[in-house]
């Protein structure tokens, strides 16, 4: 593609336009150049819009000035395949997920699960791993967030039309791809869109088609919206319709990766398809288990979807017939005890029964998951329960600031990102020059402060707040203050308001004339989560306390773009979930790659990351059954860590920078998505593909 002399520059760009590679690495640099010519920013903007607006002259200048970047983008879009994964070339991995957080311009994600899925696709592309993905195109996304004058979250669902980045998937016969899924009450129809994520093809199902009745047209309008009936129909469409879409495209997956239990019906469809080809039920189940990988993401019981028997049978009755199962046996697939009539049908249980390779997303979460689901293996001890762990990581080219990447290019060596999963690659980070590191940190912090001031004051003005409040927010944050960030889903177990409970101490902290502190909060609560919305209101009210105004700030409209800015610019990232409810968490990992430090409860990834001098810990990992006692002790431990460790270190900037260097050197190689995807490939995908090739029933 890149060497075809018959293509004009615009044609070269047009051939690679429907791809989100424009949002990271060489693509982001190219897009930034084109946006600068248009006097625009790339933040939150659909890359296709910028490419369409660019003049021929601008495209030509960009192609000439960034010839290597353009070739790199073209090669990545072509889908280069590494010989390391050749076993998967013919039958790739199919990755199913309810959400994908790839870029804020494609609003088909809500939080960490989706961002993790997006990073998985990007790193698979970077590694040349044969992988395709299936999700939904949500016409109204998750929701857009504003706060009213009292601090209550307001949710809006603007209609979203497919952008220039999306194209209808075209089947090998030349027709636009559409799929059907049968239920006892009728057929669910969906069209299929396609977008590139580098060399990975992402297929998005869209039920908003005239062939469906009004209720089914709304199935893919909103992420995590609707009732249980909506949810089961979504999950049936994702798993069954998604696998059928891949086959209709001529793609025969060798491995099925189910990212959370929402996707488990894909495994059931694979069992049924094998039986349609003549396999017995037992042989089909055995074969499917061998090629299924299941990642569970939550230790919170509410995160595991359950359906009452009547609803399940209404939708899966056709499967009972295809599988030759009685209704009781079909229900038993989703029950820990197949004979229990009182137990609801659990999607996680279905996935656990149909996958040989199961993992949590951190060492601690793996242990918690074994305890949660040990009843499925009554003859094994807890330590023998076959659930392992692959700790999450983040896609470094997406979340690392360009300035920091350039510094590492000079000191880690050219091409360090190709070996970022190796410990030795990061050893030179121990010697990063103080002056250069401090200069970059100051630049990133200044950029964040400018963004926070603009957004906070504009939001206040839109709410009709006083001129005094608007003016104070326009000058918010002392540039010399220790800037602490807290941004994530406002689920109650994440305890966003923990630091605000001791108001007198907080007022003293932020108003220290010699060493002030500022806090910036952002995040969304699920529209049905009243507890989360109350936490947002508490933070908002604190931010309007005259003694805290301009020093404690809450921003609305949290998305990937704001998340990138915060994790790049803050000095310290605060994370205080109620242990052990944080399966992994990845926002703090993004801070590591930008020279910030973490202050966190020893939960999720931080439980295995913290070594005593590469960040800071809240408490010692104790867990109490009494939630009130847990919160009080953790709050005391938070203040102790701040006053006895964090602030003294901050006042000694050489000590702080030494800790930053150690954070990058000890954590950079472990908590990146390249290491994570390699772990999946080596520990799960290749063994599963090998089992399939050895199995005569495959």
| Tens digit of each residue's pLDDT (9 = 90 or more) over 557-574 | 999 999 999 999 999 999
Q: Does the structure show a pLDDT above 50 at 690?
A: yes
In whole angstroms, give the CA distance from residue 272 to residue 275. Answer: 5
- What pLDDT digit, counting tens, does each position of 612-626 carry? 999 999 999 999 999
Which pLDDT score, from 0 to 100, does residue 66 have?
Answer: 87
Which pLDDT score, from 0 to 100, does residue 49 have?
Answer: 84
Predicted confidence band of residue 694 (pLDDT cuts 50, 70, 90)? low
What value does the mean pLDDT take over residues 117-126?
A: 97
Which pLDDT score, from 0 to 100, does residue 433 have?
Answer: 97
- With a pLDDT cut of 90, the percent of the chain lying above it is 81
- What pLDDT digit, counting tens, does each position of 160-169 carry? 888 777 899 9
- What pLDDT digit, counting tens, does each position of 363-411 carry? 999 999 999 999 999 999 999 999 999 999 999 999 999 999 999 999 9
What value does the mean pLDDT take over residues 627-641?
A: 97
Q: How far is CA 53 from CA 270, 272, 600, in A?
A: 44, 48, 44
Predicted confidence band of residue 697 (pLDDT cuts 50, 70, 90)? low
What value does the mean pLDDT take over residues 322-328?
A: 94
Predicted confidence band of residue 16 (pLDDT cuts 50, 70, 90)? confident
Alpha helices in 432-502 (DSSP H): 434-462, 467-474
Look over the chain and give the mean of its residue pLDDT values, rounded to a whole number.
Answer: 94
Q: Does the structure show a pLDDT above 90 at 10?
A: no
In whole angstroms, give the CA distance from residue 119 to residue 31. Answer: 19
Predicted confidence band of residue 37 (pLDDT cuts 50, 70, 90)? confident
- With a pLDDT cut of 70, the percent of the chain lying above it is 98
Q: Does the structure show a pLDDT above 70 at 650?
A: yes
Q: Do the beta carbons of residue 680 and residue 127 sit within 8 Å?
A: no
Around 190, how many Cα atoms within 13 Å sit in the side-chain half-sphere? Answer: 37
Around 225, how many Cα atoms within 13 Å sit in the side-chain half-sphere? Answer: 19
- What pLDDT digit, counting tens, does each position of 270-310 carry? 999 999 999 999 999 999 999 999 999 999 887 899 999 99
Q: Does the structure show a pLDDT above 80 at 42?
A: no
Predicted confidence band of residue 29 (pLDDT cuts 50, 70, 90)? confident
Q: CB-based burial of residue 421 (10 Å sphere; 0-12 exposed, 13-18 middle, 19+ buried)?
A: buried
Least confident piece of the model among 207-221, 298-312, 360-374, 469-483: 298-312
Verdict on whether the full-model pTM lies above 0.85:
yes
In whole angstroms, give the CA distance from residue 279 to residue 273. Answer: 9
Q: Does the structure show a pLDDT above 70 at 124?
A: yes
Predicted confidence band of residue 79 (pLDDT cuts 50, 70, 90)? confident
Among 292, 299, 273, residue whose Cα is nearest residue 284: 273
Predicted confidence band of residue 47 (pLDDT cuts 50, 70, 90)? confident
């Amino acid at each position: 593609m890149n060497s075809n002399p018959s293509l004009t520059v615009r044609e070269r760009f047009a051939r690679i336009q429907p791809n989100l590679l424009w949002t990271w690495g060489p693509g982001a640099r190219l897009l930034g150049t084109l946006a600068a010519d248009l006097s625009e920013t790339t933040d939150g903007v659909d890359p296709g819009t910028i490419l369409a607006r660019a003049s021929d002259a601008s495209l030509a200048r960009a192609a000439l000035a960034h010839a290597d970047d353009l070739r790199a983008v073209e090669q990545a879009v072509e889908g280069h395949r590494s010989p390391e994964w050749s076993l998967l070339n013919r039958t790739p991995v199919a990755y199913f997920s309810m959400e994908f957080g790839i870029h804020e311009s494609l609003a088909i994600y809500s939080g960490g699960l989706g961002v993790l899925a997006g990073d998985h696709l990007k790193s698979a592309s970077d590694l040349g791993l044969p992988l395709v993905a299936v999700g939904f195109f949500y016409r109204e996304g998750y929701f857009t967030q504003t706060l009213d004058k009292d601090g209550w979250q307001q949710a809006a669902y603007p209609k979203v039309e497919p952008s220039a980045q999306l194209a209808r998937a075209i089947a090998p016969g030349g027709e636009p791809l559409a799929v059907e899924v049968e239920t006892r009450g009728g057929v669910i129809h969906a069209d299929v869109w396609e977008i590139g994520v580098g060399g990975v093809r992402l297929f998005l199902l869209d039920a908003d088609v005239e062939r469906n009745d009004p209720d089914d047209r709304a199935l893919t309008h909103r992420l995590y919206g609707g009732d249980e009936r909506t949810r089961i129909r979504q999950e049936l469409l994702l798993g069954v319709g998604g696998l059928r879409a891949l086959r209709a495209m001529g793609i025969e997956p060798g491995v099925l990766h189910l990212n959370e239990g929402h996707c488990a019906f894909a495994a059931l469809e694979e069992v049924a398809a094998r039986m349609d080809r003549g396999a017995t039920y037992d042989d089909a189940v055995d074969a499917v288990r061998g090629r299924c990988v299941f990642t569970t993401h939550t230790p919170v019981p509410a995160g595991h979807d359950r359906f009452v028997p009547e609803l399940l049978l209404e939708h899966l009755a056709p499967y009972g017939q295809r599988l030759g199962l009685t209704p009781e046996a079909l229900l038993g697939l989703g029950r820990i005890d197949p004979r229990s009539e009182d137990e609801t049908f659990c999607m996680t249980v279905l996935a656990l029964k149909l996958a040989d390779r199961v993992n949590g997303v951190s060492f601690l979460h793996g242990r918690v998951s074994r305890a949660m689901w040990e009843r499925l293996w009554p003859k094994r001890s807890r330590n023998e329960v076959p659930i392992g762990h692959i700790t999450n990581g983040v896609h470094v080219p997406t979340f690392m600031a360009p300035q920091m990447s350039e510094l590492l290019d000079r000191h880690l060596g050219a091409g360090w990102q190709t070996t970022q999963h190796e410990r030795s690659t990061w050893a030179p980070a121990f010697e990063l020059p103080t002056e250069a590191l401090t200069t970059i940190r100051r630049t990133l912090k200044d950029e964040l402060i400018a963004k926070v001031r603009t957004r906070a004051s504009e939001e206040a003005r839109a709410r009709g707040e006083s001129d005094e409040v608007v003016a104070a927010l326009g000058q918010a944050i002392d540039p010399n203050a220790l800037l602490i960030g807290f941004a994530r889903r406002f689920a109650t177990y994440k305890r966003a308001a923990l630091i605000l409970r001791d108001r007198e101490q907080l007022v003293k902290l932020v108003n220290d004339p010699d060493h002030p502190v500022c806090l910036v909060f952002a995040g969304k609560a699920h529209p049905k989560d009243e507890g989360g919305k109350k936490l947002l209101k508490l933070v908002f009210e604190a931010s309007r306390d005259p003694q805290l105004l301009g020093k404690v700030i809450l921003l609305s409209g949290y998305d990937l773009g704001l998340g990138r800015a915060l994790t790049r610019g803050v000095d310290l990232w605060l994370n205080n979930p109620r242990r052990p409810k944080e399966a992994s968490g990845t926002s703090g990992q993004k801070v590591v790659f930008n020279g910030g430090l973490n202050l966190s409860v020893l939960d999720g990834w931080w439980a295995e990351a913290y070594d005593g001098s590469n960040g800071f810990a809240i408490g010692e990992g104790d867990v109490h059954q009494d939630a009130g006692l847990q919160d009080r002790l953790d709050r005391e431990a938070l203040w102790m860590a701040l006053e006895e460790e964090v602030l003294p270190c901050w006042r000694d900037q050489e000590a702080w920078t030494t800790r930053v260097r150690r954070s990058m050197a000890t954590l950079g190689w472990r908590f990146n998505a390249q290491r994570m995807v390699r772990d999946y490939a080596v520990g799960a995908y290749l063994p599963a593909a090998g089992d399939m090739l050895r199995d005569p029933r495959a």
